[in-house]
A and B are shown apart, each in its own frame.
Chain A
Amino acid sequence: DVKVTQSSRYLVKRTGEKVFLECVQDMDHENMFWYRQDPGLGLRLIYFSYDVKMKEKGDIPEGYSVSREKKERFSLILESASTNQTSMYLCASSDTSGYTFGSGTRLTVV
């Protein structure tokens, strides 16, 4: 069964911490994405990658960076976590057959 795995379901971090959110897919997909979901705002694209070591900014990249050293892994980095980054973070990968999402990481920044 096709899978996108996000390493943590729930995470609590302190303001100013550097936070790593990990995502691994086992489908050999070229494309990977990071979204955040907030009530009333839907899913907003943070960053995406079409290939290893390649990254593109989405709609809301400020305060985030990403790393794609291997095809199967796409990491989202919060350089200095802030309370307004408290959110549900969703990773996805895609190919011609469509998108597959991970289960999400609920991040709370205190």
Chain B
Amino acid sequence: EAQVTQNPRYLITVTGKKLTVTCSQNMNHEYMSWYRQDPGLGLRQIYYSMNVEVTDKGDVPEGYKVSRKEKRNFPLILESPSPNQTSLYFCASTPIGLAGATSYNEQFFGPGTRLTVL
């Protein structure tokens, strides 16, 4: 089954304790990204990657890191989490089509990771 998986699904942690949220897709997609969803603000993109070793900032990258060492995995790293990073996080993937475009392609989202930073 084609899917995007995320782990953990729920996490409660304390300020400053490094954590990693994993994301994996089994569809051989080139493009992967991370979003956070907050009440009243909708979903906002944190980071994206167009392929292995190619990553770039989205709209709200501060306080986050990512890596893309393998095509299927795109972990989100919070090196020193703070309470304002309490949020619902989604990983997404999509294929890159003709001439590098993704505009017309479906994006597949993971089930979400609910993070609470105390």
Check if A and B associate: no
